[in-house]
Chain A
Amino acid sequence: MLIFGERINGMFTDIGNALRNKDPKPIQHWAVKQQEGGAHYLDVNSGPAIPTEERVEAYEWMVNVIQEVSDLPLVLDSTNYNAIEAGLKVCKRPAIINSCPAEQVKIERVFPMAIQYNAGVIGLTMDKKGIPKDSENRVAFAMELVAAADEYGLRMEDLFIDPLILPVNVAQEHAPEVLESLRQVKMLADPAPRTVLGLSNVSQKSPDRNLINRTYLAMAIACGLDAAIMDANDDDLVDVAATAQILLNKSIYADSYLKVFRSR
């Protein structure tokens, strides 16, 4: 189970300000703090904090300042593929591109770029028309992404299918469909593509967000979830990820498994 730390995102005030003022401190603070929490990758997203025309430069800057303090690999999160490419050019370790929907035009832009920079791709099970409600259509989009990976020569382990979880308070019926999608995605290819969720979405604007997040995380891992973009500093949540790993016989049990999980 891979944890992609979500905190370096321009939607948060401190990161937004850091981007506007070119102040590396808050970004570096969260890079270190998330790594200590148990993150395996750091998601990097400028958000709308800075104007579109400055994003290419911003991504290059963010990657550089993060790499000054952390050796974790990065997940470059943007809809602006030029900005992602600028980031990929300066990444020291193979990164992951977040993300590419099942649309031919975007596949043609993203997959060759992933191959060129030895990067992974998060593939979204949606197209221009939006997010499907049922698992069947989600899986159909996943299949298109799998076929694209095969066509472009992207290793299946480098393709992360994101079946797109939505907030449970307004889109409750999606949650079980996403679980079913996670199960089925594993049967699309052998070796199977990996799976990822933007976990915190499930609890947007609900009370007890942490409880919802960790309950859903455990359920999703049981259905085959390999990675989550999540709060790496929610200790209870990281404990759930570590415990699920043990209960699925993916890591060898030791009494100190919670500590072991965080130390690698």
Chain B
Amino acid sequence: MALTGLEIYKQLPKKNCGECGVPTCLAFAMALASGKAALDTCPYVTAAAKEALDSASAPPIKAIKFGKDSVLGDENVLFRHDKTFYHPTTLLIRVSDALSDADVEAKVQEINGLEFDRVGLHYSIDGVAVVHESGDAARFEKVAGMVAAGTDKSLLLLSSDPAALKAALVPLASRKPLVGEATAENYEAMVNLAKENSVPVILKAEGLDALNDLAEKAQALGYKEFVLDPGSRKPVETLANLTHLRRLAIKKKFRPFGYPVVAYTSNPEPLDEIMEASVYVAKYASAIVLNTSTKAHILPLMTLRQNLYTDPQKPIQVEPKLHTVGDVNENSPFYITTNFSLTYYSVEGEVEATKIPSYILPIDTDGTSVLTAYAAGKFEPEKIAQAMEASGIADKVKHRNIIIPGYVAVISGKLGELTGWKVVVGPRESSGIISFAKSQLG
């Protein structure tokens, strides 16, 4: 987004000297905002002001990439219905270096096994966070190496000791791990280490004021690959911090907070922990570090993530294959509809209420409703005939009746000719299916 006149005006020297060719600084600010003037024509603008104006035109939250295709940040809205959320939360499972070798192996095995197939989609966990808790730098290096050898997922290396981190990071630098944590005490060594290895680094401070201070100091070292950690570990505080950070970055273009944010779960009970993580997925965390790695805990979280990061402008679709309602048999009626989820589920709900086991074939109309698809030429007899053929419905029922939506009664003749089936025109609204089924299918 372009800068507003007021934002530019605040950075100008306010001398009203007219040397830029415009009588006042205010008028010059407006000329800049509308693109009619260049900042160079002002001889008194400071380097700091130039930098502020340059960076204000950058995206509100920087994209931070690490590991295996993990992208954090680069978001533009506070509510997904305003546009969409772009980069799904990166989920990492925590592995402590205080575990025994055998336990580390087992944990990595379990993490690798977190693969799910659901409603035609494949989910897998994004990465592993190796946490330095042993107090022994050599141990941290060894466990980091074991984890890296055991999985190709993205890595997060967490230690507050720059020397330990360096030892672990250098052999793994080609994997481009995310590292941390830079704090007020160690940030120079940490940020420089990250800079030398071209990896992003987590800046951690207690509270937003301290984080602001740390981010400004870290930026002054000439590096900008940062992920923020506002230090809170209680869900209520983390929620507030995540909201403030996102709001300030987007609404106020507050540059020190123009980075993605990492959240850590704190609840020891896995079910509570997943609830906590669900809040962070919904409320702007770009990465979450979890303790639990049980399939039953992770699947609902990944499903939520999938749902929240879908684009609300794009219609949600159901799989365009033959669906069944109830315990179907060779006499079950056969309905046609479209694969727009709203349409499909309206039909499915009503068909279910008829208590007659039935087949429903949603035709792939790119997720549009019956009338929209018909108007756009996506719900034509030829296409329906093909979909029926592909679905194998002919072998599943012994009758030869197709029930079509009442609004497209006009296609019945052609569809009958193409398929040789009898086309029954159903009700216009799915709410009419129950009485239709009673009178026609009894």
Report the minimum CB–CB distance from A248 to chain B (whole Å): 15
> Which A residues from 185 to 202 make CB contacts under 8 A with B?
187-190, 192
| Docked complex Cα distance between A184 and B2 (Å) | 13
The number of residues on chain A lying at the interface, defined by a beta carbon within 8 Å of a beta carbon of chain B, is 13
CB distance from B285 to the nearest CB of A (A): 26
A140 at the interface (CB under 8 A from B): yes
Given the complex, which residues of B lie within 8 Å of A190, measured CB to CB? Answer: 1, 4, 6-7, 251
Is A131 in contact with chain B by the CB < 8 A criterion? no
* Chain A residues whose CB sits within 8 angstroms of the CB of B26 once the complex forms: 140, 143-144, 147
Contact check: which of B5, B27, B251 meets A189 at CB < 8 Å?
A: B5
Contact of A139 among B2, B6, B30 (CB under 8 A): B30
* Chain B contact residues: helix, strand, loop or mixed: helix
Are the CB atoms of A147 and B9 closer together than 8 Å? yes
Assess whether A146 is interfacial by the CB under 8 Å rule. Answer: yes
B27 near A188 with CB under 8 A, answer no
B60 CB, min distance to chain A CBs, angstroms:
12
User: A143 near B7 (CB under 8 angstroms)?
Assistant: no
* Chain A hits for B34, CB < 8 A: 184, 187
Interface string of A60-74 (1 = CB under 8 A from B): 000000000000000
A143 touches B29 (CB 8 A): yes
A143 to B33, CA, bound (A): 11
Give Cα distance in the complex from A258 to B5, angstroms: 37
Set of chain B residues within 8 Å of A140, measured between Cβ atoms: 26-27, 30
- Closest residue of chain B to A149 (Cβ to Cβ) is B6
Check A147–B30 contact: CB distance below 8 A: no
The residue of chain A having its C-beta at the shortest distance from the C-beta of B252 within the complex is: A190
Instruction: Give the complex CA separation of A82 and B6 in angstroms.
Output: 30
B1-24 interface code vs A (CB 8 A; 1 in, 0 out): 110111101100000000000000
Contact A147–B27 (Cβ < 8 Å):
no
- Any chain B CB within 8 A of the CB of A150? yes
Tell me the total A-B contact number using a CB cutoff of 8 A.
40
Bound complex: CA A90 to CA B210 (Å): 44
Give the residues in chain B near A146, CB-CB below 8 Å: 5-6
Q: Are A187 and B2 in contact (CB under 8 A)?
A: yes
Cβ–Cβ < 8 Å partners of B6 in chain A: 143, 146-147, 150, 188-190
Complex Cα distance A150/B4, Å?
13
- Enumerate chain B residues within 8 angstroms of A144, measured Cβ to Cβ: 26
Question: Which residues of chain A from 166 to 190 have any CB-CB distance to chain B below 8 Å in the complex?
Answer: 184, 187-190
CA distance A195 to B7 in the complex (A): 19
Chain A's closest residue to B23 (CB) is A140
Q: How far is the CB of A128 from chain B (nearest CB, A)?
A: 17
Q: How far in angstroms is the closest Cβ of chain A from B209?
A: 22
Chain B residues whose C-beta falls within 8 Å of the C-beta of A187 in the assembled complex: 2, 4-5, 33-34
A41-B386 Cα distance, complex, nearest whole Å: 62
- Verify B7–A189 contact, CB threshold 8 A: yes
A19 CA to B390 CA in the complex, in Å? 83
Give bound CA distance, A190 to B1, whole Å.
11
- Chain A residues with Cβ below 8 Å from B27 are 140, 143
Contacts of A150 in B (CB 8 A): 6, 10
Least Cβ–Cβ distance between A159 and chain B, in angstroms: 11
> Contacting A143 at CB < 8 Å: which of B1, B5, B10, B251?
B5
Of B7, B29, B30, chain A has the most CB atoms within 10 Å of the CB of B30
Contacts of A189 in B (CB 8 A): 4-7
**Would you give the shortest CB distance from A57 to chain B, in whole angstroms?**
39
CA–CA, A190 and B8, complex, Å: 11
Find the A residue at minimum CB distance from B5.
A188
Distance in angstroms from A9 CB to nearest chain B CB is 33
Docked pose: A207 CA to B1 CA in angstroms: 44
Q: Which chain B positions have C-beta within 8 A of A192?
A: 4
Q: Which residues of chain A have C-beta atoms less than 8 A from B5's C-beta?
A: 143, 146, 187-189
Contacts of A184 in B (CB 8 A): 34
B34 to chain A, nearest CB (A): 8
Instruction: Give Cα A146 to B9, complex, Å.
Output: 11
Q: How far is the CA of A150 from the CA of B7 in the complex (A)?
A: 10
CA distance A150 to B33 in the complex (A): 17
Q: How far is B34's CA from A139's CA once the two chains are assembled, in angstroms?
A: 11
Residues of A within 8 A of B29 (CB): 143
Q: Looking at the assembled complex, report how far the CB atom of A142 sits from the nearest CB atom of chain B, in whole angstroms.
A: 9
Q: How far is the CA of A213 from the CA of B33 in the complex (A)?
A: 32
CA–CA, A140 and B25, complex, Å: 11
Q: How far is the CB of A107 from chain B (nearest CB, A)?
A: 13
A188 and B5 CA atoms in complex are apart in Å by: 5
Which residue on chain B has the smallest CB distance to residue A185? B5
In the complex, what's the smallest C-beta–C-beta distance from B294 to chain A, in angstroms?
Answer: 41
The 6 closest A-B pairs by CB, nearest first: A189-B6, A188-B5, A189-B4, A190-B4, A143-B30, A143-B5
- Residues of A at under 8 Å CB distance from B? 139-140, 143-144, 146-147, 150, 184, 187-190, 192
13 sampled A-B residue pairs with Cβ under 8 A? A139-B30, A140-B26, A143-B27, A143-B30, A146-B5, A146-B6, A147-B6, A187-B5, A187-B34, A188-B4, A188-B30, A189-B7, A190-B6
| Additional A-B contact list (7), CB under 8 Å, known A147-B6, A188-B33 | A143-B6, A143-B29, A143-B30, A187-B5, A188-B6, A189-B4, A190-B1
